[in-house]
Copies of this chain bind each other. A is one copy, B any other.
Amino acid sequence: MFKINVIGIGPGYKENMTGQAIEAINKSDVIVGYKTYIKLIENFLGGKEVVENGMKKEVDRCKRAIQISMENKEVSVVSSGDPGVYGMAGLILEILSKEHDIKQFDVRIIPGVTSSNAGGAILGAPLMHDYVTISLSDCLTEWNKIEKRIHCAGEGDFSVVIYNPKSKSRPDYLNKTQEILLDYKRPDTVVGIVKNAFREGQQTKITTLEKLHEAEVDMFTTVFIGNDSTYEHEGYMITPRGYSV
């Protein structure tokens, strides 16, 4: 069996990784990853062979990892957050299912703390009730599909977590999201914004849905939009579960 681990490193830095993730990295021969994330964990990779590349090279990265595993080296593909949430787990499995005999591979997906949970913890407890996770990246998804989902998230009074809120090629998608959600949610709905959760340069801001367009966001930012009962108290964003308190 060819051994591939797909590892969620969480927000980055060793203290946010699980023991299982650290152990898998330690026993791997080769580590493969996006260079920005390799940098976060490089201080404990020791002298290991590292294969890194840039953004939008995901397919190439996964194919190289699979090739390396077929040389009978144990390979770990690292993915920020959780590898199953807009990460590398799906792509590895897709390629194996379409181009290889997947039964020859021992694939281990090791979960990690995704941005919803990392950013949520920093804000307080914005996701204590049912929530939706939506990526605004249209690299791989048509905007009309994303738009439809935002409508449904608003209609259902879900808390909403926005991944990939902005990039050069789509500066106005977050504003469009704001406009759509204002059809369903109150203008004073609490919004929390977290940049670089648990990383250097961590920043947070609590604002409201009607002021969301004033917020500065980038690809390392996660946006949390409350449900109908979310409130702010002394800097904490809190969505009640429904207990009588």
Contacts and interface: CB of A to CB of B under 8 A. Distances in A.
B156 A97 contact: no
A55 interface: no
Contacts of A109: 120-122, 124-125
B128 A131 contact: no
Contacts of A15: 18-20, 23
A121 B126 CA distance: 24
Contact of A127 (B19, B23, B84, B140): B84
A160 to B, nearest CB: 10
Given A15-B19, A130-B146, 18 more contacts: A8-B121, A15-B18, A15-B20, A17-B18, A17-B19, A59-B244, A84-B120, A89-B124, A93-B236, A95-B245, A97-B234, A99-B245, A103-B234, A109-B122, A129-B135, A130-B135, A132-B133, A148-B157
Interface of A: 8, 10, 14-20, 22-23, 58-59, 82-87, 89-91, 93-95, 97-99, 102-103, 107, 109-114, 117-118, 120-122, 124-135, 139-141, 145-146, 148-149, 151-153, 155-158, 231, 233-234, 236, 238-245
